[in-house]
Amino acid sequence: YINDSIKELDEELGVELQETVFDYERSNATFFTLARNDDLKGILSAIRSVEERFNHNYHYDWVFANDETFTQEFIQLTSGAVSGNPTYVKIPKEFWSYPSWIDQDLAADVRDQMEADNIKYGNSESYRHMCRFNSGFFYKLPAMQKYRYYWRVEPDISFNCNIDYDLFKYMESNNKVYGFTMAPYEIHTTVLSLWSVVQNFTTSYPQYVSDDNNSELLTDDEGETFNMCHFWSNFEIGDMDFYRTEAYEDFFEYIDYSGGIYYERWGDAPIHTMAAAFLLDKDQVHYVDNTGYYHSPNGQCPINAEIREKLECDCSPEYDYNWSDDSCIPLYYEINNMEMPDEVSGFSG
Ligand code: GDP
Ligand code: MN
């Protein structure tokens, strides 16, 4: 048993552990889910999708984290749904709270103003703690320390195509550090000063900036302004050794110290994106295609009919977001000299 609470629960219920005979050599990797107890229904549905489309073949572990204590019901039902070993973590207070230098009255004023301006999650304090945790702390949890790769799963997401190869192994064998599956535009009112803070960082720490980076994805005017393109972080797969480098730690501290997580509403998605786009080489970043991934309100769906058939996709290409006008995938293809799918010309999803 990886987890004492499950062991106790199983003993209480008189469940006998079935030792699985399984000799596939996995990567050192785990799924990672941050969730509230209220997210139980949504996360069960997400787990069922991940297991059906991918993990029943591999049985990767699953780490669940929460700023509150998970209920026995949450633990019991999710541990029954995953095919790898689950672990349940209560996030330590220092990973889920204001750093000392934040003026909390000022932060509260900002939330009021953003609520008045109708900005999504603008009034939420917990959303900001969540974004800070996902940006700079999840990979520091003791339960995550023993793993190298993570794959983030949120409540209510689904994969509507089979992922018929070991994506963790793919990342490892190809030296990929950060993988994404969708790249929309950020709400610009949430990141007003993020670009200038990141510019100051890259100017102050040129030694961390990759010579062959993806920063062209983030600007349409040669660095003057941020074009709002970012990797959607509700799905991400990555190598946590990157976050554990001095480069990323200095980057996160710089971002955190600037205060914009609380005085604006910087998401972990644009923060991870800027790190990946400036600090990594182009070929360390990976577009995970053909997953049929869906997180409300957008999804991807392979626009090639043969791929949809081969991967048994339950999705409609009409609703594919990635090749729509609201997506940064075409720009990503362009700057990485990737060949656009044949169907793209004339396609607008
Ligand atoms: P959105 O995808 O940006 O609309 O935000 P979500 O509501 O999906 O939150 C992102 C992730 O953080 C999800 O996995 C949520 O379950 C989780 N999350 C958000 N707020 C909290 C919170 O206050 N506590 C915990 N434990 N998880 C949270
Ligand atoms: Mn979400």
What's the CATH number where 119 sits? 3.90.550.10
Whether 73 is catalytic is: no
Q: Per-residue pLDDT tens for 232-271?
A: 999 999 999 999 999 999 999 999 999 999 999 999 999 9
Q: Check residue 8 and give its pLDDT.
A: 62
Tell whether 339 is covered by a domain: no
Dist. CA 74–CA 255, nearest whole Å: 34
Indicate whether this complex's ipTM tops 0.95.
Answer: yes
Q: Check residue 162 and give its pLDDT.
A: 98
| Pairing label, strands 236-239, 293-295 | unpaired
Q: Is the pLDDT of residue 11 over 90?
A: no
Dist. CA 219–CA 229, nearest whole Å: 8
Nearest C-alpha to atom 6 of ligand 1 is from which residue?
154
Task: For ligand 1, say whether the CB of 125 is within 6 Å of any of its atoms.
Answer: no
Least confident of 16-25, 112-121, 327-336: 16-25
Tell whether 301 is covered by a domain: no
Q: Check residue 58 and give its pLDDT.
A: 97
Q: Per-residue pLDDT tens for 118-169?
A: 999 999 999 999 999 999 999 999 999 999 999 999 999 999 999 999 999 9
Q: Which atom of ligand 1 is nearest to the CA of 234?
A: 2
Inter-residue long-range contacts of 326-332, CB under 8 Å, 24+ positions, other chains counted: 326/184, 326/185, 327/182, 327/183, 327/184, 328/183, 328/184, 328/185, 328/217, 328/227, 328/229, 328/230, 329/182, 329/183, 329/287, 331/217, 331/229, 332/183, 332/214, 332/217, 332/229, 332/287
Other beta carbons within 10 angstroms of residue 11's beta carbon come to 12
Q: Is the pLDDT of residue 183 over 70?
A: yes
Q: Is the pLDDT of residue 2 over 90?
A: no
Task: Specify the residue for token string 């990157």.
Answer: 242
Tell whether 11 is covered by a domain: no
Task: For ligand 1, say whether the CB of 269 is within 6 Å of any of its atoms.
Answer: no
Distance (Å) from CA 316 to ligand 2 centroid:
21
Confidence of residue 23 (pLDDT cuts 50, 70, 90): confident
Q: Check residue 348 and give its pLDDT.
A: 53
Pick the catalytic residue from 51, 186, 216, 236: 236
Question: Residues 6 or more apart from 263 whose CB is under 8 A from it?
Answer: 102, 106, 107, 110
Other beta carbons within 10 angstroms of residue 123's beta carbon come to 18
What b/e sequence results for 281-308 when a residue is b if at least 16 CB atoms lie within 10 Å of its CB, and e otherwise? ebebbbbbebbbbbbeebbbbbbeeebb
Tell whether 98 is covered by a domain: yes
pTM: 0.93
Q: Is the pLDDT of residue 19 over 70?
A: no
Strand partners, 229: 185
DSSP string, 82-93: -SS-EEEEEPPG
Neighbours of ion ligand 2 (CB under 5 A): 154, 234
Distance (Å) from CA 336 to ligand 1 centroid:
32
Confidence of residue 18 (pLDDT cuts 50, 70, 90): very low
| Mean pLDDT along residues 78-90 | 98
DSSP string, 217-272: GG-SSTTSS---B---TTSEEEEHHHHTSHHHHHHHHHHHHHTHHHHS---HHHHH
Tell whether 124 is covered by a domain: yes
Distance (Å) from CA 267 to ligand 1 centroid:
11
Q: Per-residue pLDDT tens for 293-347?
A: 999 999 999 999 999 999 999 999 999 999 999 999 999 999 999 999 988 875 5
DSSP 328: S
Q: Check residue 22 and give its pLDDT.
A: 63
Share of the chain above pLDDT 90, in %: 91
Please count the structural domains in the chain: 1
| Mean pLDDT along residues 29-43 | 98
Distance (Å) from CA 253 to ligand 1 centroid:
22
Tell whether 139 is covered by a domain: yes
Tell whether 338 is covered by a domain: no
Please state, rounded to an integer, the average pLDDT across all residues of the chain.
94
Domain ranges, residue 45: 27-287
Q: Is the pLDDT of residue 1 over 70?
A: no
Tell whether 345 is covered by a domain: no
